[in-house]
Structure 1
Amino acid sequence: MKSNPTIYFIDDEKHIRIANQQTLELAGFDVQCFNSAEKVLPLLSLDWPGVVVCDIKMPGMDGLTFLSKAMEVDRDLPVILVTGHGDISMAVNAIRDGAYDFIGKPFAAEKLIETVRRAVDKRALTLENRNLKIELEAQSAPGPRIIGRTPAIQRLRATIAQIADTGADVLVFGETGTGKELVARSLHEHSRRRDRNFVAVNCGAVPENLIESELFGHEAGAFTGAQERRIGKFEHANGGTLFLDEIESMPMPVQIRLLRVLQERMVERLGSNELIPLDLRVVAATKADLKEAAERAEFREDLYYRLNVVTLEIPPLRDRREDIPLLFHHFLLVSSARYQKEAPAPSSEQIHALLAHPWPGNVRELRNAAERYVLLGESYGYELEQVLRGSEDGEGSITLPQQVDCFEKSVIEQALSTHNGNIKETMEALGVPRKTLYDKMCKFGLDKKNYKFGQKEL
């Protein structure tokens, strides 16, 4: 359930703040009062869902100056100005500069409530349109898609969309099989670098005596066996993205050279004195806590802080169980197309088994289970139900009511997606009364607006 909209009320007179706070709280709003506009500016952001009510004439920063600075944060942020009789023309000019509305003193409580309520509705619509635009851009973009509807995955997608074009180096943290390379590819494909190379290197799979040559390249004769010049991964990724997986496995001497490349954005091949400028993004991935590794002197602390500009954490599958049916269905479709075989739809018992399994191998393990299900058909369907159920009492298992809730939510989501958020068609497909469907949607925090474009993979 969504919380009540937050209103920031700014006025330098205490009795006015108290009276209007009570008025707005009785109308169902959450209100925070401030005696100066300077205190509010740091609290504003592009995704803040509230409304500001601000007096024009105040000591220090006045309402018009606050409006100007608030518009720099978000041009669409609703700012309602409170003005005395002599300031009406000033307030009209302020509306041209971006103010949502103004209220002349003295004003009735109903006038304040009505203006604030309209501003709240406008803010909600603005944020919804922004989110839909991001989703549509993501759906139409090439490359891999991060599938899931749990809050953690939605936040992950939103962060990727926000930083994709910044060029900042990124550290991706997640257990084995959670999809760290998928996140790195998503960053690449949603950036202006998408037409250049995406180069992936598994630092744990390259022999220690070869990793420097692999990353930085070498000149002919640089060492025994170097018969010709070799372009390293950094140069090959120039203009694009370099993905360094299992960065915690990188030998300490190589970490020193990597730190220098990250700081100077130049690379020097082994056996060469020439510095080659680089324009690339580095995405490093790890399943280890690099800060703890640095404290144990197993990873360079300065490299950790250099990589840790932006950190994206991928939740394990056991922490996003509600996404399991959607992911399994997606992998079934992919595997069916790959092997040219049609798989039977999993039964409710099999879905319950999927939800109960702890998934130590995360999404990779789930994808493999979907492939076996497609290849082996009903025979593996029975095995799926029996083998996965064998882990119900193990670590990471969930209770029967939790399984039922996850399954019920996934069924309702699937129906909403299929029918583009149409409540009438959804209730008919599920065979439940309208009130029952609304109660269930309220329980699971589902909003029909989020399903208007059909089944969402993003």
Structure 2
Amino acid sequence: MSAQDTYSILIVDDDKSMRVSLINLLEAAGWRAEAVSRAAQVEALWPELQPDVILSDVRMPGMSGLELLASLDHNIAPPLVLISAHGDIPTAVQAMQDGAYSFVEKPYEPRRLLTILRHAAEQHRMAKGTERLKVQLARLSGLDRLLIGQTAEIAGLREEILDLAEIDMPVLLQGETGTGKELVARALHDLGPRAAAPFVPLNCAAIPADQFETEMFGIKGSHAGKLIAASGGTLFLDEISACPLPVQAKLLRVIEDQEITPIGSTTPVSVRFRVISASNLDTEQAVQDGHLRQDLLYRLNTMVLTLPPLRHRRDDLVLLYTHFLQEFGQVYEITPPELGPEDVAALLAHDWPGNVRELRNAAERRVLAARRGAGSVAAAIQSDPLVEDVPETLREAVAVFERELIGKAIRAHQGRMDAVAEALGIGRRTLNEKIVKLGLDKDALL
């Protein structure tokens, strides 16, 4: 059975011997099993572990199995099977009425328990597949929106995406910031044979160096890590050159050996995933500069897709901008402003260093200005606040200035917060406080 077809389960039982017994039974049957001793631990773990089913004891210290059942959002949570040595008919009936998938008495009959769990997992996979199809269709339409255009570069890119999606091999995406690398990575995943499995993005430029190993490899018993989470699906390594060199060496071993050992563990875990990586830097130059291991690059660049910058797609500018105007017109419930000759001239005169992302943001600013009965394309392109948006108080003006300055620094240093703090001449703690106070979203800026 492949990693993609393996069912996973989260066991909740305060009896250690019972947890060990259940893990042994399920692993022998080909399941991937994790266990915790308290129901209160489930809420933090299940979104990351994404189990196909939860098996929980009823009577436990603290939160009981029935209380755990009541706490779960049954629209998104996996099915819950309750197991108890104190089973009675009223409790079982109540549990089923409250949304439990099934109720099993201890001592359990192994074959019957495995059958119940398998049926629960199959039902969950079917429900997820239906929901994933809806999301997949939405993402594909999102790809179509981003890749609108008639230039040869964008038409060729669409064809390459369709060709490479079916080939389960590493792909390196190269392109400037804002060209849509993550969206293309998602399309390669959604159109490929691993579409039903997880797509796990990891922005290497946004993770502090001292947290890389924890984030990627996980910690035994508390944090699964991105590599295990991606097993069976696709791991997307964005800005791979920002990954610390020691971690690059370990990542290379994982790709080659197809197994990982979480921090604090001595037992390797088998993982299989497609690797899609991305960089807005010249990867060959990054190797020469000592930022990227050459042997890792050779593992990642089996196939290379280059996303064209917007300045090479000037024939698509008006079409794209008009599309975004219509999109934000619907969002803000106004009729999109018409494009005049001066507006088209402003679009064509700008170099668009932020590419499609910058164009989309400019369209949103234009629509927001239109709500006030003002604005133009030229004004929307400018990064400085419009005159009519200048705050009335000194405190508000300082906040606007700080927000703009910190945002620019985060983009310039690709989310490396130590470098951002150093460039701004402030401490890391002060920077974090200002980001929270100003309501900045670091991920949205990158």
Normalising by structure 1, report the TM-score.
0.50
| Conserved 8 A contact 1:143-1:186 | no
How many residue pairs get matched?
A: 246
CA distance in 2, matches of 1:156, 1:139: 20
Cα 1:381–1:191, aligned 2, differ >3 Å: closer, same or farther? farther
Structure 2: gaps of 5 or more residues? 1-135, 384-446
Contact 1:357 1:389 in 2 (8 A): no
Distance 1:138 1:197, change over 3 A: closer
- Structure 1 residue 188 corresponds to structure 2 residue 189: yes
**Structure 1 residues 302 and 381, CA gap change in structure 2 (3 angstroms):** farther
Shift of 1:232: 0.7
For 2:336, give the aligned amino acid.
A
1:144 alignment counterpart: 143
Matched with 2:324 is 331
The corresponding residue for 1:207 is: 208
Question: Which one-letter code corresponds to 1:144 in the other structure?
Answer: L
- Relative to structure 1, the CA distance from residue 364 to residue 389 in structure 2 (aligned partners, 3 Å threshold; closer, same or farther) is closer
Q: 1:294-352, CA deviations, whole angstroms, 9 ceiling, x for partnerless residues?
A: 12222111111111111111111111111111111221222222222322222232122
Asked whether the 8 Å contact 1:216–1:233 carries over to 2, the reply is: yes
> Matched residues in 1 for 2:167 and 2:194: separation?
11
Q: How far off is 1:176 after superposition?
A: 1.1
- What is the CA-CA distance between 1:287 and the residue it aligns to? 0.9
What does residue 351 of structure 1 align with? 344
Question: CA separation of 1:208/1:363 partners in 2, compared to 1, >3 Å: closer, same or farther?
Answer: same
Letter in 1 for 2:273: L
CA 1:230–1:159 in structure 2 vs 1: closer, same or farther (change >3 Å)? same
Once the two structures are superposed, residues 1-58 of structure 1 have per-residue CA deviations (whole angstroms, 9 ceiling, x without a partner) of: xxxxxxxxxxxxxxxxxxxxxxxxxxxxxxxxxxxxxxxxxxxxxxxxxxxxxxxxxx
Flag the 1:340–1:194 CA change in 2: closer, same or farther, 3 A: farther
Q: Which residue of 2 aligns with 1:442?
A: none
- Secondary structure, in 3 states, of the residue corresponding to 1:323? helix
Of 310, 313, 323, which aligns to 1:320?
313
Aligned-residue sequence identity (percent) comes to 43
User: Which residue does the alignment assign to 1:51?
Assistant: none
Give the counterpart of 1:309 among 302, 309, 312: 302
How big is the shift at 1:163? 0.9
> Who is 2:174 aligned against?
173
The DSSP-based 3-state class of the residue aligned with 1:144 is: helix
Q: Which moved more, 1:379-388 or 1:142-151?
A: 379-388
Whether the aligned pair in 1 keeps the contact of 2:149 and 2:320 (CA below 8 Å) is yes
CA deviation string 1:39-92 (max 9, x = no partner): xxxxxxxxxxxxxxxxxxxxxxxxxxxxxxxxxxxxxxxxxxxxxxxxxxxxxx
User: What pairs with 1:317-396 in structure 2 (closer than 5 Å)?
Assistant: 317-377=310-370, 382-385=375-378
Instruction: Please tell me whether the aligned partners of residues 142 and 189 of structure 1 are also in contact (alpha carbons under 8 angstroms).
Output: no
In 1, the alpha carbon distance for the partners of 2:141 and 2:195 equals: 9
Separation in 2 of the partners of 1:301 and 1:325? 41
Structure 2 CA distance, aligned partners of 1:273 and 1:338? Answer: 52
For 1:210-225, list aligned pairs within 5 A: 210-219=211-220
Query: Corresponding residue for 1:63?
Result: none
Alignment-mate amino acid for residue 232 of structure 2: G
- Secondary structure of the 1:148 match is coil
Rounded to whole Å, the distance in 1 between the matches of 2:287 and 2:139 is 41
**Counterpart-to-counterpart distance in 1, 2:373 and 2:178:** 22
Give the letter aligned to residue 293 of structure 1: A
User: Relative to structure 1, is the Cα distance of residues 323 and 138 closer, same or farther in structure 2, using a 3 angstrom cutoff?
Assistant: farther
CA gap of 1:140–1:377, structure 2 versus 1, over 3 A, is: closer
Query: Of the two, which has the highest radius of gyration?
Result: 1
- Residues 198 and 140 of structure 1: CA distance in aligned 2, closer, same or farther (over 3 Å): closer
Q: Would you say the 8 A contact 2:199–2:234 is kept in 1?
A: yes
Q: 1:242 to 1:380 in 2, by over 3 A?
A: farther
CA distance in 2, matches of 1:380, 1:279: 55
- For 2:262 and 2:382, locate their aligned partners in 1 and report how far apart those are by CA, in whole Å: 54
Amino acid at match of 2:316: D
- Contact kept, 8 Å, 1:217 with 1:270, in 2: the verdict is yes
What is the CA distance between 1:273 and its match in structure 2? 2.1
Structure 1 pair 139/161, CA: closer, same or farther in 2 (3 Å)?
Answer: farther
Q: How far, CA to CA, are the matches of 1:372 and 1:389 in structure 2?
A: 10
CA contact (8 A) 1:372 1:380 kept: no
Q: In 2 relative to 1, CA 236–380 (structure 1 residues): closer, same or farther, beyond 3 Å? A: farther
Q: 1:356 to 1:381 in 2, by over 3 A?
A: farther
2: distance between equivalents of 1:150 and 1:381? Answer: 33
Distance 2:331 2:310 in 1: 24
Contact 1:201 1:243 in 2 (8 A): yes
Shift of 1:260: 0.9
Asked whether the 8 Å contact 2:366–2:380 carries over to 1, the reply is: no
CA distance in 1, matches of 2:185, 2:376: 34
Contact persistence 1:284–1:307 (CA under 8 A): yes
Deviation at 1:156, TM superposition (A): 0.9
Q: Secondary structure at the match of 1:195?
A: coil
Code of the residue aligned with 2:177 in structure 1: it is T
| C-alpha deviation, 1:141, in angstroms | 5.1
Letter in 2 for 1:317: L
Superposition map of 1:28-427 within 5 A: 144-145=143-144, 146-219=147-220, 228-377=221-370, 382-385=375-378
Measure the CA separation in 1 of the matches of 2:274 and 2:373: 43
Residues 380 and 362 of structure 1, relative CA distance in 2, 3 Å threshold: farther
Q: Give the distance between the partners of 2:204 and 2:355, measured in 1 at CA.
A: 21
SS in 1 for 2:205: coil
- Relative to structure 1, the CA distance from residue 176 to residue 341 in structure 2 (aligned partners, 3 Å threshold; closer, same or farther) is same
* Distance across 2 between alignment mates of 1:237 and 1:255: 17
Instruction: Give the whole-Å Cα distance in 2 for the aligned partners of 1:191 and 1:152.
Output: 22
Q: Distance in 1 between matches of 2:373 and 2:191?
A: 38
